[in-house]
Amino acid sequence: MALDVTRRARLLVVLIVVLVFGGLAVFLWRRGRQVESAATIQSPISQATISPVSASPSPTVVVETPPAAQTPTSTPSVTVTPAAAETPPPQADQSAVNPAPLSGGSFPSFIGTLKLVIPVVGVRRDQLLDTFADARSEGRVHDAIDIPAAAGTQVIAAADGEIIKLFQSDRGGTTIYQLSVDRKLVFYYAHLQRYADGIVAGKFVKQGEVIAYVGDTGNAGAGNFHLHFSIAVVADPKRYWEGTNINPYPLLRQ
């Protein structure tokens, strides 16, 4: 009888152990299933929310390379002559620059009332010759008039104005540049024998005042005594040798 009780107690203990271990196994199995399900549910969300690094295109970095330094082209040297040192070119007389005369030898309206005297003493108006358009050497045009007179005849200022330049020229010989009072005209006297006493650059002379004497200097030719007289309209009095020549003949004849 005691043996049966003992066997039954053992069987009961075994049964309890089996039940405990079985329940524990079932619990662990169910717990594992729940964790797996939770992982399965969260996985799509993670995939949808977080983009893989490889899915994003790498930005392209452009590095600009500065252009190679350009070698400056050679610049021709420019010599600037101070205004105070300006000198007419050697062939400035007889219109070396030679601008085209005004149409038909006419002159601007602003000198329409200009009253000139013949710049050579003793020469009458009817003795003047219009040589303005005469041809000269090297394809030039005279752009002036010649007034013949004996050597040493007095040359007088054709109008009031300032003596702005005394110049020794290859062609013009001994010359004078005179600026009109309104600073728009330049009177040019060439082939002079010499200057009158007291005539210097900067001196203001009155119309009819003796400024020089008739000669044959420059390219006039030995013994060809005359005054080469021209009038030019200038835009810049400082560049008095660059102007538009007008015919003095009708102005001296009026």
82 within a domain of the structure (yes/no): no
Phi/psi at 70 (nearest 5 deg)?
-80, 140
Q: Residue 133 maps to which CATH number?
A: 2.70.70.10
Reported as a single tens digit per residue, the pLDDT across 203-230 is: 999 999 999 999 999 999 999 999 999 9
- Which band of pLDDT confidence, cut at 50, 70 and 90, is reported for residue 20? confident
Residue 10 is predicted with a pLDDT of: 79
The answer on pLDDT for 139 being more than 80 is no
Reported as a single tens digit per residue, the pLDDT across 157-189 is: 999 999 999 999 999 999 999 999 999 999 999
64 within a domain of the structure (yes/no): no
Average pLDDT (56-68) is 47
d(CA 106, CA 214): 27
Same domain assignment for residues 38 and 98: no
Strand, coil or helix: what is 117?
coil
Residue 78 is predicted with a pLDDT of: 40
The answer on pLDDT for 46 being more than 80 is no
Same domain assignment for residues 128 and 206: yes
Which of 27-36, 81-90, 118-127 shows the lowest per-residue confidence on average (mean pLDDT)? 81-90
Q: How many CA atoms lie within 13 A of 104 on its CB side?
A: 3
d(CA 194, CA 173): 10
Same domain assignment for residues 209 and 158: yes
Same domain assignment for residues 41 and 94: no
Compute the chain's Rg from CA coordinates: 56
Same domain assignment for residues 189 and 106: yes
The percent of residues above 90 in pLDDT, for the chain, comes to 41
Look up the domain containing 170 and give its range. Answer: 88-253
The answer on pLDDT for 51 being more than 70 is no
d(CA 199, CA 210): 9
Reported as a single tens digit per residue, the pLDDT across 70-114 is: 444 444 444 434 444 445 544 444 333 333 344 444 556 656 678
Average pLDDT (139-143) is 74
Same domain assignment for residues 125 and 37: no
Angle at 204 between CA 200 and CA 210, to 5 degrees: 70
The percent of residues above 70 in pLDDT, for the chain, comes to 65
| Residue indicated by tokens 């000269």 | 136
51 within a domain of the structure (yes/no): no
Same domain assignment for residues 137 and 34: no
13 within a domain of the structure (yes/no): yes
